[in-house]
Amino acid sequence: MTDFLNALVLLTNFVLLPAITYGSQLALGALGVTLLYAVLRFSNFAQGETMAMGTALAILCTTLLQSIGVSLGVLPTALLGMLPAIVIMWGVVLLTDRWVYRYYRTKRSKSIVFVMASVGVMFVMNGLVRFLLGAGDRNFEDGERFIISAADFKLMTGLEEGLALKTTQVITIVLAAILVIALFWFLQKTKTGKSMRAYSDNENLALLSGIDPHRVVRITWMISATLAVIAGVLYGLDKGYKPLSYFNLLLPIFAAVIVGGVGKPAGAILGGFVIAFTEGLLTYAYKAFLNYLVPPAWLPEGLIQFLSTEYKVAITFVILVIVLLVRPTGILRGKVI
Amino acid sequence: MSKLWHNNTLRALAFFSIMAFMLVLVGVNQSWSVAIAILNLCIISAIMSLGLNLQWGYAGLFNVGIMGFTALGGIAAVLVSYPPVKDAWQVGGLGILGSLVVLLATIAVCVTLYRKLQSSSYRWLVLSLIILVGYFLLRLVYEPAVKAIEATDPSRSGFLGGLGLPSLLSWLVGGLFAAGAAWFIGKIALGLKSDYLAIATLGIAEIVVSVLRNEDWLSRGVKNVTGVPRPVPYEVELQQSPRFIEWVSNWNSAKLAALDEVARNDALQKLVSDASSIAVKLSYTGLFTAVLLLILLLSVLALHSPWGRMVRAIRDNEVAASAMGKDVKGRHLQIFVLGSAVFGMAGAMLVTLDGQFTPGAYSPLRYTFLVWVMVMVGGSGNNLGAVLGGFVVWFLWVEAEPAGFWLMNTITSGLDDGNALRTHLINNAQYMRVIVMGLVLLLVMRFSPWGLLPEQNGQRR
Amino acid sequence: MKKLLLATLLASIFATSAQAADDTINIGIEFGFTGPIESLAPMMAASAELALKEVSDSKALLGGKTLKGIRADDTCVDAANATTAAERLVTSDKIVALIGASCSGAATAVANNVLIPKGIPMISSSATAPALTTLDDKGFVFRTAPSDARQGELLAEIVKNRGVDEVVITYTNNDYGKGLNESFGAAFKKLGGKIVASTAHTDGQPDYSADVAALKASGAKTLIVFGYADQGGKGIVQASLDSGAFDKFIFADGMIGEGLTKNFGTKINGAFGTMPGGETEGSKKWEAIAKENKIDPTGGPYRGESYDAAAILALAIQAAGKADPAAIQAKIKDVANAPGEKIYAGELAKALKLLSEGKDVDYVGATGVEFDDAGDVKGAYREVEVKEGKFETIKAY
């Protein structure tokens, strides 16, 4: 029994918990992308850089707050610092929309034109973010790091394996859950949310029924930016801020969107978790885990790993390609792009 | 005037003259060596941009996997021209060939059974079982071979090397590699709706590059292959060749005659050194230009052939073309393969020019999105436009950096040296490059949406 | 906007030609300001520029000439960009020597395609791949960062001597990490140690818990990290501590720095490793002047090396008596190697004076530079250990 528990704790600690956290971060980012897709009908390549810029601003605000002595106690101050960052990012995305995307919207350009424009925005933001805060690594976490540390857990339970629960992990999961619920409530129950869904389903019909398209677009941008900043800050709190890794995050986020079903908020969340879990499960070395469950003599040499961790990036895309081939609309049958 | 401006030939002439003028300006003000170095990369960029123009401009295929095809071309350059590493072949060559056989056998069995068991309900079970068995068998043969190869003198080789054939051949092979991969990818992915192709190619390119980065026995992985053979002589050889020295001194006889003996020798040495690097670069320019012209010629001919008209008809209205009995999928596959072959050639040429293969260098920003910017800026659907785009964008990409430094220096020249803002701006000036690229793309899309040289006939999108 | 961009570009092309003033000597500083090591490059450049400034301020170089560092970006990985930038430095800015390029791949490309053919000396302060030792460089390529081969062997000895017999390794997936992994692995096995597993990690990844999970599964208790303190290496340590997978670490130079102890403090007590720079006196003097100039000397790798590269070039210019590439190249070993009066960081003015008087100097600098025939530094190393959340030197080799 202890062996079984040990094995379970081991798996939870190294695969399940990190995957849930990473999955939540991906899900928030993917929600932003998918909402934009649902309403504006293009894949926003600049979302990764939006996350980076939001996080950079949040770091600046946090530093400012810390310098005047504000702190949230056990919680990281960045949770407070991210609020002004969100407001600033609203301004940034709305201005971008005004200067870049609106022109193509009134011209009713093809979605590929929007995508190319977002690549342009991505380039510009990529540079601006580095201008703002440099390309270096920043650690802006404060407050209590652990709720339960691995050593404490071992003491408490007497098990051989430890289970560490980080504050940032819990914040990430809780905040993501709250945001998702709030978002769904907003989309299902409020008038604005309904008009957004109507606009997404059938633009012409929505226009006929008197929905203000500009307002819908504005709100979509604001929600997507909010999600991007929060996802970015949570990610940064968990793993440290570094502009390049936000660019790298863009690809798994896209994969999550498509795997789940484009334009489907629930699909984005599902996709995020599917990616995070497959990555975790496929690159996990099962040696120590199996050691608890079967006699060690039965086990072969080596780490018992499906794929080495170097191929982690590739796994995301293999899932993506398989989904595209087998079920091109995604798990939840999203739109066909 | 405005009518003249809309005449495409004149417009092209004007833009290319400006481009040439800019390169000459670099030659005069920076140096000719830099100008020719930029020109060489401009030509390679133009070739890549022609390939994308074929796919996107002719057929509307949204390929975001250019990086992968370029990388495949790159490895071809290594595999063809690098001399074989005999020791590595001895210890692991057999194992690698063996695992190749196992891999192919597994695939063959899978395909056969997939067809045979069309209606059987065990189909998936049997197939997964065979794949699993094949996988373990493969690892059994493959892993010891790889270990042995990678342990052979790891700091210098640790890989199988290539075939030691002439490097010009590798450009062709690079194209073939990429074409083969493209055929395979196209077979699977082209049936999807067009925008899914984008995401599929994006993913496949990542997979290709991560294989090249991690399979050291094949590509030395991140340790890079250096000293890839060249089709042109080395500068140092030229500097020691009496014929070359004589040639240079004849060329500059007037200048040299005015100097005394010691100064003359010094000056001659300097001239020879400069001339050798320019000579080598010019030989590359010659080779690259030949390839560029050939591809350009073929593209133009193809565009104006019945085949080209059909392809554009498919692009502009897929449904109508299909209803008229045109084989849409077949044409798309053709074009996907052809365009990708062009990327592969460009990739091989790039590795030959650099003299080294660096798998870590392949990033989507540089090898995929930048090429897209080239085509969008140049004018999609127009071959000359694509070439122009390749030239302009590469030029900006390399010159934006010094321009950024200069701009920051000028803007902040009113501030004193230790000023924090000034230091910050100057220290971060190199990020100007991406910002400039983004701005150019956005501005061209907004104010000249068909690119600098729009497509001449066919429907504008 | 379009016009402004065009004007800027034009102006900059014109402007670069205007700066060939007689009393300045240009030296190229080509590091990866964008790309994978973009976070390391700025401080490396600042360190190199510190040495150039020290020389210029002394007014003792060739009768009062100033050294100007011209920055260029080698992007760390893209050979095409790196060569074009080097080409520009050499032929347009007329540099007499180059500090860089930063990553081994870019350094090889730049050396083979530009500097060796043009006969201009370069000193890389961060390219550590063993392959550079055997490069046919005609004596023009030097480096102040030691080759990974030496460090791997030394670290293997230290680890074994400390009684650790079983380790698991994670290395950053580039030539530095892989090279170090190979040299350490070979040496450690020869000494009878066991490497249970060695896996690569990719820098700039979103998440490292999977990597750590795989390492943990090996069953080894001690983790060796060959990575960078501000990149994947940090992520690995973080994930290891967070999940309780490892608490015993062994590091190589890329990981050692205040950046790491600032993050993890006493949590990594007992971790040990090697870093370049045997002469503790030299490194102390370097730390002092670096801190004076707002450079955190141990906050990241290759800062002392960059300072040294710049300083050696300056001294070689002085020794050569003229700013001529070939003459400088001939003097680099003379000023860096014994015999002569030992010169430390911050003493460049003294060295310049000695050289002008025709005396011999032996530049030691921040990292104890001493070139061998291949232009590599022999690699003086220190064994360091984390005690009470700070790296402390145990022994110099």
Provide the pLDDT for residue C313. 94
Looking at the complex, does the CB of residue B372 fall below 8 Å from at least one CB of chain A? yes
Q: Tokens standing for C3? A: 């016009």
What confidence category does residue B458 fall into, taking pLDDT thresholds of 50, 70 and 90? very low
Looking at the complex, does the CB of residue C296 fall below 8 Å from at least one CB of chain A? no
How far is B350 from chain C, CA to nearest CA, in Å? Answer: 8
Chain C interface test: which of A9, A13, A14 (most C C-beta within 10 Å)? A14
How far is B441 from chain C, CA to nearest CA, in Å? Answer: 11
Asked whether the predicted pLDDT for residue A24 surpasses 60, the reply is yes
Nearest CA to C151 out of C246, C224, C216, C202 is that of C224
Provide the pLDDT for residue A302. 64
The verdict on C17 and C58 lying in the same domain is yes
pLDDT cut 70: percent of chain C above it: 92
What confidence category does residue B140 fall into, taking pLDDT thresholds of 50, 70 and 90? confident
Top pLDDT among B47 and A337 is at: B47
Neighbouring subunits of A (3+ Cβ pairs under 8 A): B, C
Other beta carbons within 10 Å of C211: 26
The verdict on C28 and C140 lying in the same domain is yes
Residues A212, A72 contacting (CB under 8 angstroms): no
The verdict on C28 and C69 lying in the same domain is yes
Can you tell me whether residue B89 is helix, strand or coil?
A: helix
Nearest CA to C117 out of B37, B287, B350, B361 is that of B37
Per-residue pLDDT of B318-341, as tens digits, reads 788 888 888 888 888 999 999 999
How far is B275 from chain C, CA to nearest CA, in Å? Answer: 10
Looking at the complex, does the CB of residue B204 fall below 8 Å from at least one CB of chain A? yes
How far is C17 from chain B, CA to nearest CA, in Å? Answer: 5
Neighbouring subunits of B (3+ Cβ pairs under 8 A): A, C
The verdict on C269 and C311 lying in the same domain is no
Q: Which of B100, B122, B157 is the last residue of a domain?
A: B157
The verdict on B68 and B96 lying in the same domain is no
- What is the Cα–Cα distance from C301 to B83, expressed in whole angstroms? 36
Per-residue pLDDT of B267-281, as tens digits, reads 888 888 888 888 999
- As a whole number, the mean pLDDT across chain C is 84
The verdict on C111 and C211 lying in the same domain is no
How far is A309 from chain B, CA to nearest CA, in Å? Answer: 11
Top pLDDT among B356 and C77 is at: B356
Question: Which residue reads 């850089």 in tokens?
Answer: A49
Provide the pLDDT for residue B42. 95
- What is the Cα–Cα distance from B209 to B447, expressed in whole angstroms? 36
Residues B136, B106 contacting (CB under 8 angstroms): no
Provide the pLDDT for residue B457. 56
The verdict on C221 and C135 lying in the same domain is no
Peptide bond into C42 cis (omega under 30): no
The verdict on C349 and C208 lying in the same domain is no
What confidence category does residue B461 fall into, taking pLDDT thresholds of 50, 70 and 90? very low
- What is the Cα–Cα distance from B202 to B208, expressed in whole angstroms? 10
State which residue of chain B sits closest to A41, comparing Cα positions. B195
Q: What pairing do the DSSP bridges indicate for beta strands C272-276 and C341-343?
A: unpaired
Chain C interface test: which of B156, B223, B239 (most C C-beta within 10 Å)? B223
Q: Is residue B458 part of a domain?
A: no
- What is the Cα–Cα distance from B149 to B89, expressed in whole angstroms? 7
What confidence category does residue B172 fall into, taking pLDDT thresholds of 50, 70 and 90? very high
Contact A312 C205 (CB under 8 A): yes
Kindly state the average pLDDT of the residues C321-339: 90
The verdict on B144 and B248 lying in the same domain is no
Other beta carbons within 10 Å of A7: 18
Looking at the complex, does the CB of residue A157 fall below 8 Å from at least one CB of chain B? no
Provide the pLDDT for residue B348. 95
Q: Is residue B454 part of a domain?
A: no
The verdict on C239 and C388 lying in the same domain is yes
CA distances to B90, B252, C101 from B442, in Å: 55, 48, 33
CATH code for the domain in which residue C54 is found:
3.40.50.2300
The verdict on B222 and B98 lying in the same domain is no
Top pLDDT among B6 and A275 is at: A275
Provide the pLDDT for residue B423. 76
CA distances to A241, B269, C25, C329 from C324, in Å: 45, 13, 10, 9
Q: How many distinct structural domains can be found in chain C?
A: 2
- Type of residue at B173: V
State which residue of chain B sits closest to A311, comparing Cα positions. B210
Instruction: Name every chain A residue with its beta carbon within 8 A of the beta carbon of C213.
Output: 14-15, 18, 280, 283-285
Asked whether the predicted pLDDT for residue A92 surpasses 90, the reply is yes
Q: What are phi and psi of A185, to 5 degrees?
A: -60, -45
Looking at the complex, does the CB of residue B264 fall below 8 Å from at least one CB of chain A? no
Neighbouring subunits of C (3+ Cβ pairs under 8 A): A, B
Residues C335, C315 contacting (CB under 8 angstroms): yes
The verdict on C204 and C121 lying in the same domain is no
Looking at the complex, does the CB of residue A41 fall below 8 Å from at least one CB of chain B? no
Instruction: Name every chain A residue with its beta carbon within 8 A of the beta carbon of C211.
Output: 283, 309
How far is B176 from chain C, CA to nearest CA, in Å? Answer: 23
How far is C180 from chain A, CA to nearest CA, in Å? Answer: 17
Q: What residues contact A21, with CB distance under 8 A and at least 6 apart?
A: A168, A169, A172, A173, A238
Q: What residues contact C261, with CB distance under 8 A and at least 6 apart?
A: C268, C386, C389, C390, C391
Residues C81, B31 contacting (CB under 8 angstroms): no
Q: Is residue C372 part of a domain?
A: no
| Residue-number span of the structural domain to which B13 is assigned | 2-84+161-447
- What is the Cα–Cα distance from C226 to C176, expressed in whole angstroms? 8
Asked whether the predicted pLDDT for residue B195 surpasses 70, the reply is no
Contact B202 A113 (CB under 8 A): no
Ramachandran area for residue A235 (φ above 0: left; ψ -120 to 50: alpha; else beta) = alpha
3-state secondary structure A118-152: HHHHHHHHHHHHHHHHCCCCECCCCCCCEEECHHH
Q: Is residue B6 part of a domain?
A: yes
* Among B193, B373, B441, beta carbon nearest to A336: B193
Provide the pLDDT for residue C17. 43
Looking at the complex, does the CB of residue B38 fall below 8 Å from at least one CB of chain C? yes
What confidence category does residue A54 fall into, taking pLDDT thresholds of 50, 70 and 90? very high
Instruction: Name every chain B residue with its beta carbon within 8 A of the beta carbon of C5.
Output: 436, 439-440
Contact C80 B433 (CB under 8 A): no
The verdict on B91 and B56 lying in the same domain is no
Q: How many distinct structural domains can be found in chain B?
A: 2
Largest CA distance in chain A: 72
How far is C35 from chain B, CA to nearest CA, in Å? Answer: 9
Alpha carbon C59 to its chain's center: 27
Instruction: Name every chain C residue with its beta carbon within 8 A of the beta carbon of B440.
Output: 5
Find the range with the poorest average confidence among A138-152, B124-138, B189-203: B189-203
Per-residue pLDDT of C20-68, as tens digits, reads 457 899 999 999 887 777 777 888 999 999 999 999 999 989 888 999 9
Looking at the complex, does the CB of residue A316 fall below 8 Å from at least one CB of chain B? yes
Find the range with the poorest average confidence among A65-69, B409-413, C6-10, C254-258: C6-10
**Rg of chain C over CA atoms, in angstroms?**
21
Provide the pLDDT for residue C201. 85
Q: Which of B104, B122, B157 is the last residue of a domain?
A: B157
Residues A241, A139 contacting (CB under 8 angstroms): yes
The verdict on C206 and C184 lying in the same domain is yes
The verdict on B119 and B258 lying in the same domain is no
The verdict on B38 and B118 lying in the same domain is no
Looking at mean pLDDT, say which of A255-264, B452-461, C31-40 comes out highest.
Answer: A255-264
Looking at mean pLDDT, say which of A91-95, A203-207, A287-291, A314-318 comes out highest.
Answer: A91-95
* Among A22, A136, A166, beta carbon nearest to C206: A22
Provide the pLDDT for residue A218. 93
Question: Which residue reads 């002469």 in tokens?
Answer: C279
C-alpha triplet A240, A242, A246: angle, nearest 5°: 105
Kindly state the average pLDDT of the residues C360-381: 85
Can you tell me whether residue A108 is helix, strand or coil?
A: coil
Per-residue pLDDT of C197-229, as tens digits, reads 888 887 766 668 778 878 887 788 899 999 877
Nearest CA to A330 out of A54, A2, A110, A33 is that of A33
The verdict on C321 and C388 lying in the same domain is no
Asked whether the predicted pLDDT for residue B15 surpasses 70, the reply is yes
Per-residue pLDDT of A120-137, as tens digits, reads 999 899 889 988 887 777
- As a whole number, the mean pLDDT across chain B is 86
Find the range with the poorest average confidence among B46-60, B434-448, C290-304: C290-304
Asked whether the predicted pLDDT for residue A261 surpasses 80, the reply is yes
The verdict on B276 and B376 lying in the same domain is yes
State which residue of chain A sits closest to C43, comparing Cα positions. A136
Q: Which of B135, B157, B179 is the last residue of a domain?
A: B157
Residues C307, C277 contacting (CB under 8 angstroms): no
Per-residue pLDDT of B218-269, as tens digits, reads 888 888 888 888 898 888 888 888 888 888 888 888 877 877 777 888 788 8
Q: Is residue C286 part of a domain?
A: no
Q: Is residue B459 part of a domain?
A: no
C-facing residues of B in 354-413 (CB < 8 A) are 354-356, 358, 360-361, 363, 366, 396, 398-403, 405-407, 410
Q: Is residue B301 part of a domain?
A: yes
The verdict on C217 and C246 lying in the same domain is yes
| Residue-number span of the structural domain to which C221 is assigned | 149-275+384-396
Chain B interface test: which of C4, C10, C12 (most B C-beta within 10 Å)? C12
What confidence category does residue C97 fall into, taking pLDDT thresholds of 50, 70 and 90? very high
Nearest CA to A31 out of A265, A279, A309, A307 is that of A265
Q: What pairing do the DSSP bridges indicate for beta strands C361-363 and C248-251?
A: unpaired
- As a whole number, the mean pLDDT across chain A is 85
What confidence category does residue C1 fall into, taking pLDDT thresholds of 50, 70 and 90? very low
Pure H helices in C202-253: 209-217, 232-243
Kindly state the average pLDDT of the residues A255-276: 88
Give, as one character, the DSSP assignment of residue B232.
S
Residue C170's beta-bridge partner residues?
Answer: C199, C225
Ramachandran area for residue A297 (φ above 0: left; ψ -120 to 50: alpha; else beta) = alpha
